[in-house]
Each structure stands twice: as structure tokens, then as C-alpha cells.
Amino acid sequence: MTQLAAPSALIIIDMQKGMQRMPAHTRNNPGAEAVIAGLLAAWRQAGQPVVHVRHLSRTPGSPFWPGQDGVEWQPALAPLPHEHVVDKHVPDAFTHSQLERWLHQRGIHRLVVAGVSTNNSVEATARSGGNLGFDVRVVADGCYAYAQHDFDGVAHSAQTVHAMALANLHGEYATVQTSAEVLAALAGA
């Protein structure tokens, strides 16, 4: 088991109230929020940096349109006053956000990514992080996806979408691990 070099930033993506409005039967991993809450508690206890990423839509009527309660944090995952918040308008948390600069200024080279959705904002952020030279870990049980149709119109379950997104990332842009593996590495740091 590789230890997590300090500092290692926990990046929590889009855990906003608007995500709770999506039909539960169309997603996988119903325990993801509890896993993320456990990671958050461990990071806080270890005094490691936490970054909360919030999506602010540019589409009127979106639940993530600024000023609506959908953009608010889920209470159990809300940032503390000293924790860094990144607002984004596209899936990738690095695009137009100064996240890369913030991390470099603090000497942070390892990122642990969790949140929603696996095949959208989690994947986009992990890809960019890997491409920018960060050591990225994606927490498999700390994110989830939604069922969708592929380009040919074939329906895929949320679990299949989730698994394919993780497969796209693992070994190329990131290392995919379970929360137990990540927490064990954090404890050994």
C-alpha cells in the first residue's frame, strides 16, 4: 500500500443539493455520500487540505443556476470556513478556476478525487489533473454515475457507465482505489 504523501488534497466535486433531485433509481452507488463524508472527516482529522468544487450553471432554469437552492452544499458535505472552494461552469474543475495555481502555491502534488458524476465532472477533473502532472487518485466508491444511452442509442446502467469511466481513468490519468485503500494510505502518511 502506497502512503499518501503530505500534503494530499481531497477534492470533492459537485456535492450540491441539486444532485439530490435526480431520480435515485437512475444512479449507482447509493452509499457514495456516506463514503465522501467519511473521507472528509478523515482529511479534516489529519489536517490535510480539502477543496470543495461547486458547479454554477450558465443555463437558465438549471438547478445549478446561481441563486437557487440547488447550488447550495449538501449539509453533511459543506465546507468549513477555512476550506478552499472552487466554482466552475464546465465539468473540469481546472478550467478557468485557478485550481492548478492554488495547488502549486501550496506544494500539493497528490489529489484524491470524489464526487459526481463519475463520467462527467469527476472524469474531466481527473483527466486534467493527470495531464497537468498531479498524482491523481479517484475513489471508486466515493463517486457515482447515472444510467444513459450511448451514441448508438444503446441503454447502459449507471454501474456500467461508472465502471467504464473508472476504466478510462485507471492507469492513464489516475489510479482508481477504494475508500478503504485511500484511508489506509492516509493513515500511513
DSSP letter string, 109-178: -EEEEEEE-IIIIIHHHHHHHHHTT-EEEEEEEEEE-B-EE-TTS-EE-HHHHHHHHHHHHBTTTBEEE-
Euclidean distance between CA atoms 176 and 65, whole angstroms: 31
Average pLDDT over residues 76-89: 97
pLDDT at residue 1 is higher than 90: no
Q: What percent of the chain has pLDDT over 70?
A: 97
pLDDT at 189: 67
**Average pLDDT over every residue of 13-39:** 93
In this prediction, residues 98-111 reach a mean pLDDT of 97
Q: Using CA atoms, how far apart are residues 113 and 71, in angstroms rounded to an integer?
A: 20
**Amino acid in position 110:** R
**Distance (Å, whole) CA 13 – CA 133:** 20
Name beta bridge partners: 180: none
Q: Assess contact for 169 and 134: CB atoms under 8 A.
A: no
The mean pLDDT of the chain is 95
